């Protein structure tokens, strides 16, 4: 399986994680897999929902991904950053991403984890 190594972080947090993830997962599934792997939970102890902003290497600013967009389609390469914004926060003017995202359906169980590995930076 093809993978890409990206640095992920939650908006307004300084902790960084390098993760090896498949580039062909829709953003909503990728957000769910990373939140589960890093145990990112909300105040009610549920896995948090996120809207993703991708920063390509050497890019000065990022852009929000559509829910069905993949890292591959967004042009993400090894070294790209993905910032996880709480789904209840609007991504900003001119972006067609919804301000709130319905909770995604849990992925079907697989024998191979979606996130291959990660480390704290």
DSSP strand E in the chain: where? 4-10, 17-21, 50-55, 63-64, 81-86, 117-120
| Residue 102 domain-assigned (yes or no) | no
At residue 116, the pLDDT reads 62
Count of structural domains within the chain = 1
Please check whether residue 41 lies inside any domain of the structure.
Answer: yes
Measured CA to CA, the distance from residue 97 to residue 62 in angstroms comes to 14
Question: Which band of pLDDT confidence, cut at 50, 70 and 90, is reported for residue 119?
Answer: low
Q: What is the DSSP letter of 66?
A: P
**Residue 121 belongs to some domain of the structure:** no
Domain hosting 74: range is 4-89
Q: What is the DSSP letter of 101?
A: -
Q: What is the CATH number of the domain that holds 62?
A: 3.10.20.90
pLDDT for 4: 95
Residue 73 lies in a domain: yes
Please state, for a pLDDT cut of 70, what percent of the chain lies above it: 72
40 touches 49 (CB < 8 A): no
Residue 55: beta bridge partners? 81
Question: How many angstroms separate the CA atoms of 53 and 85, rounded?
Answer: 7
Chain segment 10-62, per-residue pLDDT in tens: 998 999 999 999 999 999 999 999 999 999 887 777 777 899 999 998 888 99
Tell me the two tokens of residue 70: 């993949």
Rounded Cα distance between 114 and 38, Å, is 13
pLDDT on residue 31: 94
């Amino acid at each position: 399986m093809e993978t890409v190594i990206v640095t992920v972080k939650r908006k307004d947090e300084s902790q960084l994680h390098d993760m090896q993830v498949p580039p062909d997962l829709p953003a909503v599934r990728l957000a769910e897999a990373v939140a589960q792997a890093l145990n990112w939970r909300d105040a009610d102890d549920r896995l948090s929902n996120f809207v993703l902003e991708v920063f390509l290497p050497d890019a000065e600013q990022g852009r929000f991904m559509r829910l069905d967009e993949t890292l591959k389609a967004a042009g993400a390469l090894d070294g790209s950053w993905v910032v996880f914004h709480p789904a209840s926060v609007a991504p900003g003017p001119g972006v067609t991403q919804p301000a709130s995202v319905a909770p995604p359906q849990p992925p079907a169980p697989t024998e191979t984890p979606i996130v291959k590995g990660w480390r704290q930076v």
